[in-house]
Amino acid sequence: MEKNVVNHKSYLDELNDIQRKAVVSGSGPKMVIAGPGSGKTRVLTYRIAYLIQQGIPPHRILALTFTNKAAREMKDRIERVVGAAAKRVIAGTFHSVFARFLRYDAHLIGYPNDFTIYDTDDTKSVVRGIIKKLGLEPKVYQVSAIRSRISMAKSNLITPKLYAANTDLINQDRMNRRPMLQNIYGLYTQELMRAGAMDFDDLLLQMFRLLYENYDNVREKYQEKFDYVLVDEFQDTNYLQYQIIKQFIDYDHSPHNINIVGDDAQSIYSFRGATIENILKFEQDYPQVETFKLEQNYRSTNFIVQAANDVISYNKNQIQKKIWTSEEQGEKIKIEKCISDTEEGRKVASLIIEQKNRHHLKNSEIAILYRTNAQSRTLEEHLRRNNIPYKIFGGLSFYQRKEVKDLVAYLRLTVNYKDNEAMKRVINYPKRGLGNTTVQKIIDIADANEISMWEAVGMVKLSKRAENALLGFGKMIQDFTKRSETQDAYTLASYIAKKSGILDLLQQDNTPEGVSRVENITSLLNGIQEFIDLDEVVEGQDLDAISNKSLAAYLQNITLLTDQDQSDVDDVDHITLMSVHAAKGLEYPSVFVVGMEENLFPSYLSVSDPRQLDEERRLFYVAITRAEKYLTLTYANSRYHYGQVRYNDVSRFLEEIGGDNVDSIISSSNTTAGFGAARSRLSGNFKSLREVKVPELKIDPAQFKPSPNDQIAPGQKVLHLKFGEGEVLAVDGATDNKIATIRFDQVDNPERRIMLRFAKLQILD
């Protein structure tokens, strides 16, 4: 039975003027620039419904999305307007639609029409086999990194032949100690061809080949098949996707009926290959394009909308628009200054409780966003301590992430040789030549004799190679245990992370996912150092029973924190934690964005590259615009980094928000020197970073001679290459972590706290 059909007049009456113009526009290329919360999906779906009502056959409309969910929602909305005809619209993700087309014509490019689609595990297995076949070092030719490189090549229409001829790519591979990558790519392609298989990238690459490489009759067939091509989230398309779209609509007798919807200000996926130039240069590709800007925001209060405008205005390369709202002014944005990341976690939990009581919010109406997944650790700990249920969106809880569990398993085995689950997890990780058969033998003997796997090792008959591998593993664990008698938990855990090979293995993978895994290991180690520094007695133990700086004490602490039935969380009202990338497309009444510090947000990887810095700013824009009513931004003066306390500058993005939109609260009376910019901003006197003056030094850096750090003392005049001349006001901290408070003469924010072991200071008197 058909769903209730909304008549023509009523659904158009739901639209504002500019939305309606976009929906009822005629033929030719159309570009809809849709700001956050501006009704993008409604315009796209009603445009399709309108075309059908104007007589365009549904099966002659192609709508491309990035998620199956978006495609289903699109069809459901269209069906509510035009009825069952919506089912005949060709709508789906790029991959699903092109896979469907390739089932008919793949034989023209050498593939069977019933080709297999290899998933991630399949492709990893193929790459792993090639690396082994070529006798290459797995730690250098890391599987994930190789897959990422091949994916990059395919997304840029670079075949193995073109790859081998590209000097820049070959030189990059040589610098990364992977000169054989071009060979792996060639063999990988051959292997998939032999297997009659395509990976996800091939569904795009082979579709392009089908349309472009001397198959004019095929290209014409598809060009004649569709009267209209509509693309959602166009700012997220990569180079290859756009080239395919062009093949569908670029021909002489075509009116170029391509309709794109997107927002350049929300282009945040360059690490996946997304190319913002596709949307920025669309008007150059189609000079006759008609552009519609959806600038009315229906989601957020005025203070939030204006803050978003403030921030994004700093990006040079963008399609100009001014988002506005008729919603209430609402509450001003709160900026919370915290002494440390620990206080940040505690403060966020406290503010959540306060908001729930004051505004009667459910947990499900609150989200915490962070730049990196590793930041969830302190937040999770404080939410648990306050009995606030939460769920990690689009990922695992910090302590459930594989790399974290792997290192924790080593720590557990160091403390307790009889921990069989820990033993199973790390006995052959990183790989040391022990096959599944060998490991199973150990398990079987342990079970038969009711002993631990550790004790069973000596009872198993093994090959010389396996025996040596186990002997080396055993000596390594015993070394860890011996060190635990004299070393604190952080020193020992850091040693284990390196000596076990986990850290080296993860650092071989330079993909975004690989970098994230290393960050998670670093965050775990930081948590151990923080646990030691807190110097608290472990609950239920006295100081004589267990040292609170020991590895055993730390493991007991996180077991108490993480021993939670996660399945119960799904059944209760919970806070949502996620990265900002994962939050795109979502909205919440209350949003917390944490870790607003330089080198964290924006990321340290982006601050030296203007293009990447622009993307970081777009990412912050996305974060701001997830909030409907309440937005809280937090930053920490100090944060653990590789086990050391690092003092942070406030994020430049906070300084870009106009003072009229902010109601800042100083969460501590501690006004750590070095945060003058933060203090001036918190008082409402905002100043753009563009206005900050860097002193011109009168000294040639080549003549600059740093003085020994142990000679720096209060009252001295010193010279710093960046900040100029200053006076040392105080020196505090332990020997290796001494911090000097210095007042400089010629900078906007004169007082700075500088860690001496990283500073270069020349004593002037």
For residue 74, give the amino acid letter: M
Q: How confident is the model at residue 735 (pLDDT cuts 50, 70, 90)?
A: low
pLDDT digits (tens, 9 = 90+) for 259-315: 999 999 999 888 888 899 999 999 999 999 999 999 999 999 999 999 999 999 999
Closest by CA position to 657, among listed 632, 688, 627: 688
- Residues, the chain: 765
Q: Which of 232, 264, 327, 751 is catalytic?
A: 232
Q: What single string gives the DSSP state of each residue in 492-533?
A: HHHHHHHHTSHHHHHHT--SHHHHHHHHHHHHHHHHHHHHHH
Residue 395's pLDDT is 64
Q: Which of 237, 243, 266, 576 is catalytic?
A: 266
Q: At what angle do helices 143-155 and 181-194 cross, to 10 degrees?
A: 80
pLDDT digits (tens, 9 = 90+) for 693-710: 334 444 555 667 778 887
Question: 361, exposed or middle or buried, with CB in 10 Å at 0-12, 13-18, 19+?
Answer: middle
pLDDT digits (tens, 9 = 90+) for 591-601: 999 999 999 99
More confident residue, 114 or 588: 588
722 annotated active-site:
no
pLDDT digits (tens, 9 = 90+) for 458-473: 888 888 888 888 999 9
Q: What is the C-alpha separation between 539 and 561, in angstroms, rounded? A: 12
Q: Which of 21, 41, 687, 762 is catalytic?
A: 41
| 89: phi then psi, degrees, rounded to nearest 5 | -70, 135
Q: How confident is the model at residue 560 (pLDDT cuts 50, 70, 90)?
A: low
Say yes or no to pLDDT of 475 above 80. Answer: yes
Rounded to an integer, the average pLDDT of 562-589 is: 75
- CB count within 10 Å of CB 338 equals 23
Residue 466's pLDDT is 86
Residue 681's pLDDT is 37
Say how far residue 204 (Cα) sits from the centre of its chain: 24
Mean pLDDT rounded to a whole number for the chain:
83
Rounded to an integer, the average pLDDT of 114-133 is: 85
With beta carbons less than 8 A apart as the criterion, state whether 5 and 82 touch.
yes
Q: Which of 321, 401, 425, 626 is catalytic?
A: 626
Say how far residue 663 (Cα) sits from the centre of its chain: 29
191 annotated active-site:
no
Q: At what angle do helices 143-155 and 239-249 cross, to 10 degrees?
A: 30
Separation of first and last alpha carbons in the chain: 90
Q: How confident is the model at residue 673 (pLDDT cuts 50, 70, 90)?
A: very low
Q: Is the pTM of this model over 0.75?
A: no
Q: What is the C-alpha separation between 579 and 588, in angstroms, rounded? A: 14
Closest by CA position to 371, among listed 579, 165, 605, 127: 579
626 annotated active-site:
yes
More confident residue, 386 or 549: 386
Residue 751's pLDDT is 73
Residue 667's pLDDT is 40
40 annotated active-site:
yes
Say yes or no to pLDDT of 168 above 50. Answer: yes
Residue 680's pLDDT is 38
The token duo for 215 is 């198959």
Q: How, if at all, do strands 724-732 and 739-744 pair?
A: antiparallel
Say yes or no to pLDDT of 526 above 80. Answer: yes
pLDDT digits (tens, 9 = 90+) for 622-658: 999 999 999 999 999 988 877 778 888 899 999 899 8
Residue 165's pLDDT is 93
Q: Which of 30, 40, 517, 639 is catalytic?
A: 40
Closest by CA position to 541, among listed 554, 532, 530: 554
Q: What is the C-alpha separation between 703 and 695, in angstroms, rounded? A: 17
Residue 178's pLDDT is 92
With beta carbons less than 8 A apart as the criterion, state whether 206 and 111 touch.
yes
Say yes or no to pLDDT of 31 above 70. Answer: yes
The percent of residues above 70 in pLDDT, for the chain, comes to: 86
Can you count the helices (H) and strands (E) in the chain?
A: 32, 21
Q: Which of 233, 336, 488, 597 is catalytic?
A: 233
266 annotated active-site:
yes
pLDDT digits (tens, 9 = 90+) for 215-250: 668 888 888 889 999 999 999 999 999 999 998 887
Task: List for the chain the helix, strand, coil content (%; round to 5).
Answer: 50, 15, 35
Residue 592's pLDDT is 98
